[in-house]
Amino acid sequence: MEKTRFSDIVTELYGLHRAKSDDYGDEKDYFPFGAISYVQMLHVKTKRLVTLVQEKEETPNFESIEDTVKDLTNYCIFFLDYLARTKDE
């Protein structure tokens, strides 16, 4: 992958995060049970992705494969941030 394409994707994901944060509020409020909350959300998004890929011939009513991968990527980043913040606990 070209460096500029990678950078463009990361920039898009950051913009998506900022826009959703305005709608949803602080992501910390959505992960009240620490690491297990992050793992649960990653599990739910992964299950959604599997369903979308298996049914790729059908048009989803809501989130596309791309939308789900973007959300999954941002949740991974949230989890990395959590791990960094709680490393010494």
pLDDT score at 24: 85
| Series of mean pLDDT values for 10-residue runs along the chain (89 residues) | 92 94 82 95 96 82 92 96 91
* Whole-angstrom distance, CA of residue 53 vs CA of residue 3: 27
* Whole-angstrom distance, CA of residue 54 vs CA of residue 66: 14
* Whole-angstrom distance, CA of residue 89 vs CA of residue 68: 31
Domain map of the chain by residue range? Answer: 3-85
* Whole-angstrom distance, CA of residue 61 vs CA of residue 40: 23
* Whole-angstrom distance, CA of residue 5 vs CA of residue 2: 5
* Whole-angstrom distance, CA of residue 24 vs CA of residue 40: 18
Query: Which pTM does this prediction carry?
Result: 0.86
